Amino acid sequence: MTKVKEVAQAIAQAGGQSYFVGGFVRDYLLDRPSHDIDVEVFHLEPHRLYHILSRFGQVKKVGKAFSIFLVKGEGLNNIDFSLPQGPPHESVWRRDFTMNALLMDVLTGEIYDYVNGREDIKQKILRHVSENVFRDDPLRILRAIQLAARLEFTIHQDTLKLMAKDLFLLHTIPRERVYGEFKKLLLQAAKPSVGLRYLQKIGGLELFPELQAMVNCPQPPNHHPEGDVWEHTLLVVDEAAKLRPQAKYPEGLMWAALCHDLGKPATYKAENSIITFHGHAAVGAELAQKFMQRFTKEKKLIDYVTTMVKEHMSPFFLYKNNATDAAVRRLAVRIDLDELLLLVRADDAGRGLGTKPRIDDMLAWLAEKKEKLSLPKITPLLKGRHLLEMGLEPGPLFGTILKEAFAMQLDGADFPQIYQTIKNKYAPKQQK
């Protein structure tokens, strides 16, 4: 913070005042690390502030409502300097929540509280600053939800009522911004279910029909004593959050946990008091793809989530049927088994307190298979250069032949067997 204080000193010498604002002050009081730092400057004209900041690095001006300056310089990266309208005691009323409306003098460290924010932080309460807070930016509804989950705060009842009242405004928010708040909830909250329950409480699930459909969708109580599909999903998401550090793609794991049972409502059947969801993984994969496409264009993420949902029951079926080595190899080709098993573990644990794991034997069986078959690394034995050696001409048929060869490999054939079979079938016959 030395460099920021140097800037603040220069601002003070020019007649201005500098205050840390927003999440930085909140996190300071909560003794949490803060990565994004916002500084508000008062009593200076924009051109004067620009001139001062230019002495410390490269400056870029953004913002329409009021001037925001981004500085690239030693010790100043990820710090925004802004010129709000009005004096400090008025500017705080344009912020979102009381916990984010505190000011800290950059030079003295003194904190100014015009909205009782310190007490709300002490009591761990998330409370809106003004009645217009969500009309000014409807995304703040989702921000309240993810902040409450991340910080383990309780949203004040009056704030919840206002969120429900202004919920319809979320339709006006670009999907990229909505995605960003969900991403923070899923990746940064110890218990994302806290935020998802708040979303349900204000009627927000109606904006996401795939999630709403899981509410009140029954499950067989002998397998799922925790309740309906939505309750199970909330528990699975929390269990997946515990496994995030082990995942190669934590964000993908968390979205997959949220989406893994989207197919259950569409496949629900109850006959003679027996509940089934036949084919729910395949149906869920299609729903998950459409669901994710409404949030983001990130193909890697969409493909990951879709495949995880489609395959999340596969380890159970393979174990139950004592599957062949070839079947296990094929699964390892379709998906990273280590990632899939994280979801499987979360799915099993998400059946409520007091339930015993049902997958220990399956995990042991699959671990033995993985070791025996040297999974998950499976490299095709037959390659394009081998087809050239056989005298084949490059073309569309290459892909078909290589897929056929790889299928033989998964069935247990070694390289000489594969090579000879393919050569006999496809290589041009030598003329006498």
Q: What is the CATH number of the domain that holds 7?
A: 3.30.460.10
Residues 226 and 361 in one domain: yes
What pTM did the predictor assign?
Answer: 0.85
> Does residue 213 register a pLDDT over 90?
yes
Lowest mean pLDDT among 25-34, 74-83, 342-351: 74-83
Q: How confident is the model at residue 355 (pLDDT cuts 50, 70, 90)?
A: low
Joined together, the tokens standing for residue 256 give: 């997959």
Please give the mean pLDDT across all residues of the chain: 92
Residues 196 and 212 in one domain: no
* 378 assigned to some structural domain: no
The Cα 148–Cα 155 span in angstroms is: 7
Residues 224 and 317 in one domain: yes
Quick one: angle between helices 192-201 and 140-151, nearest 10? 140
Joined together, the tokens standing for residue 191 give: 């218990």
Structural domain ending residue among the three candidates 120, 150, 181? 120
Terminus-to-terminus CA distance in the chain, angstroms? 84
**Percentage of the residues of the chain whose pLDDT score is greater than 70:** 97
Residues 218 and 287 in one domain: yes
The pLDDT of 245-271, averaged and rounded, is: 96
> Does residue 275 register a pLDDT over 50?
yes
Residues 163 and 81 in one domain: no
Structural domain ending residue among the three candidates 161, 186, 207? 207
Q: What is the CATH number of the domain that holds 293?
A: 1.10.3210
Quick one: angle between helices 175-188 and 140-151, nearest 10? 10
Residues whose CB is less than 8 angstroms from the CB of residue 371 and which lie 6 or more positions away in sequence, other chains included: none
Pairing outcome for strands 111-112 and 67-72:
unpaired
* 432 assigned to some structural domain: no
Residues 251 and 345 in one domain: yes
Residues 170 and 246 in one domain: no
Give pLDDT tens digits for 99-118.
999 999 999 999 999 999 99
* 353 assigned to some structural domain: yes
Q: Which residues are 17's β-sheet partners?
A: 42
Select from 403, 400, 398 the least CA-distant residue to 384: 398
Element (H, E) at 155: strand 154-155
Pairing outcome for strands 58-62 and 37-42:
unpaired
* 48 assigned to some structural domain: yes
Residues 104 and 24 in one domain: yes
Give pLDDT tens digits for 110-140.
999 999 999 999 999 999 999 999 999 999 9
Joined together, the tokens standing for residue 94 give: 């344009």
Instruction: Please tell me the predicted confidence (pLDDT) of residue 376.
Output: 58
Structural domain ending residue among the three candidates 207, 222, 251? 207
Instruction: Please tell me the predicted confidence (pLDDT) of residue 79.
Output: 87
Residues 341 and 236 in one domain: yes
Instruction: Please tell me the predicted confidence (pLDDT) of residue 431.
Output: 43
Residues 216 and 365 in one domain: yes
* 183 assigned to some structural domain: yes
Q: How many domains does the chain have?
A: 4
* 224 assigned to some structural domain: yes
* 130 assigned to some structural domain: yes
> Does residue 432 register a pLDDT over 60?
no
Domain of residue 407: give its range. 384-426
Instruction: Please tell me the predicted confidence (pLDDT) of residue 378.
Output: 66
* 349 assigned to some structural domain: yes
> Does residue 63 register a pLDDT over 50?
yes
The pLDDT of 193-220, averaged and rounded, is: 96
The pLDDT of 347-351, averaged and rounded, is: 91
Instruction: Please tell me the predicted confidence (pLDDT) of residue 335.
Output: 93
Residues 307 and 225 in one domain: yes
Position with higher pLDDT, 299 vs 410: 299
Position with higher pLDDT, 80 vs 309: 309
The pLDDT of 35-55, averaged and rounded, is: 92
Q: What is the CATH number of the domain that holds 164?
A: 1.10.110.30
Residues 293 and 314 in one domain: yes
Q: Taking a C-beta distance cutoff of 8 angstroms, is the pair 98, 156 a contact?
A: no
